[in-house]
Structure 1
Amino acid sequence: MDFPFLLETARTLSSGIPLTLVLAVLSVSLGIVLAVLLASMRLWGPRWLSLFARAYVFVFRGTPLLVQMFLIYYGLGQFEAVRHSFLWPVLREPFWCAILSLSLNTGAYGSEIVRGAFLAVPFGQIEAAKACGMSTTLAFRRILLPQAVRLALPAYGTELILLVKATSLTSIITLMEITGVAARLISETYRVVEVFVVAGALYLAINFVLTRIVAFAEHRLTAHLRARPATRGVAAGDAEAEDVVISGERA
């Protein structure tokens, strides 16, 4: 292995890291909002909204992300109504087409995670909140949503990792993130293995940091659950000690 070339390649590919992170952060932010909306539509919306959400999730989970990206980037421009609309200055840019396709895709997957988290919260807590005088909106914001976030975090962490890797597809629509820079460098040097090894290492480093952030957030949000086994152990030890004392007194 040519280590000086690997170092120079890492320095070159690192120029694509900011764009990769911007794509991931914006797509995740929009995708989370969309996921909550879709999950709410499926669980509590009227029938026509529930059917729309089901159809949306079915389409975007059942088709490849690359196909969706091509349809948005190349397909929308074929419609004259789109070209003459106020959205065209945004939709003609590859960056925003990439954000739109990534957000729509991760929103579909995330909605199933969020929906499962909503269903995992005991319904009795919602009834208790309403019995205390909370409105539906307040109970959702203060009771249901915080617990759902905690329950959905481990699974959503996996979705975040998948999204970071999915940003590599945006190089197909001319964006110079890590994979785009790697493709350009390969066309100049013809050293495919070394360049893609470094690119893979950069994605691995980004996802390692991401997993640590998710693990830290999960650690902070589930402190009471981690303390419970120890408390149970102490309680069990106290109960055993009481049994010993009582047995001694009876003897």
Structure 2
Amino acid sequence: MAFIADTLLQLLAGVPMTLELTAISVSAGAILAGVLALLTRLGGPASWIARGYIFVFRGSPLLVQIFLIYYGLGQFPAVRQSLFWPFLRQPWWCALLALSLNTAAYGAEVIRGGLLAVPKGQIEAGRVCGMSTFTLYRRVILPLALRQALPAYGNEVIIMVKSTSLASVITLMEVTGIAKGIISETFRALPVFACAAAIYLAINFTIAGAVRLLERRLGVAS
């Protein structure tokens, strides 16, 4: 039991980085996802670019995307000489970029589904009232779409919490990274990973409860 308690204390030191990566990537990804979802509805070249982005990032493994950003971008002299290189040479920024771009692709599909779920009668009623397209989206379409998309987006947040564990492959010491370090010293993989799993379960249980509470506050239909 002493080993379990000590392991939990060490792993808890990685929770702030796990939560930080999740919060920032989900926030940045949500903004990009909203833009992508709207572009897919516009048609024309912008729609095809957005759909291509979504296809690439949903169709390739997140681990590969992390490797491409962390190891691949530095292969280009233009990147190394750019203003972004001081950030892209650091594993934290590379992991954050990969997580944000990945969740944006999935989030765009969630938001697009919410937009398609908005009743046509509500849209027609807004037009009859003389609303412009901008006002119609701001006051009718987007609020209804976000309510419909909230349950699925809550699942995406939970997935991103678990996905942060992949950041350990580029030396970040979040929960999984610390767990791997402990195992390399003690060779006790089962109890260490069991403790790490318990921490992820506790985080996701809290997030799931918060999403359900928000659903009730917004009156989301189940």
**Category of TM-score, reference length = shorter chain:** over 0.9
**In 2, Cα distance between the equivalents of 1:173 and 1:140?**
41
SS at match of 1:85: coil
1:167 aligns with 2:178: no
Amino acid aligned to 1:31: G
Q: Show the counterpart of 1:191.
A: 188
Larger radius of gyration: 1
Q: Show the counterpart of 1:237.
A: none
Gaps of 5+ in 1: 227-251
Superposition CA RMSD, Å: 1.2
**In 2, Cα distance between the equivalents of 1:219 and 1:83?**
49
**In 1, Cα distance between the equivalents of 2:52 and 2:117?**
23
Q: Show the counterpart of 2:152.
A: 155
**In 1, Cα distance between the equivalents of 2:138 and 2:89?**
37
**In 2, Cα distance between the equivalents of 1:76 and 1:4?**
44
Deviating 4+ runs (over 6 angstroms): none
1:28 aligns with 2:26: yes
Q: Normalized against structure 1, the TM-score is what?
A: 0.86
Q: CA deviation at 1:125?
A: 1.7
Q: Show the counterpart of 2:8.
A: 10
Aligned residue among 100, 103, 109 for 1:106 = 103
Amino acid aligned to 2:82: S
Q: Show the counterpart of 1:181.
A: 178
Q: Show the counterpart of 1:204.
A: 201
Q: Normalized against structure 2, the TM-score is what?
A: 0.97
Gaps of 5+ in 2: none
Greater alpha carbon shift after TM alignment, 131-140 vs 171-180: 131-140
Amino acid aligned to 2:157: L
Q: Show the counterpart of 2:136.
A: 139
Q: CA deviation at 1:12?
A: 0.5
Q: CA deviation at 1:124?
A: 2.6
Q: Show the counterpart of 1:90.
A: 87
1:49 aligns with 2:34: no
Size of the aligned set, in residue pairs, is: 222
Q: CA deviation at 1:9?
A: 0.3
Amino acid aligned to 1:147: L
CA offset digits 1:102-151 (Å, max 9, x no partner): 01111111111100100110123223223222221111111111111110
Percent identity reads 56
**In 2, Cα distance between the equivalents of 1:137 and 1:96?**
34
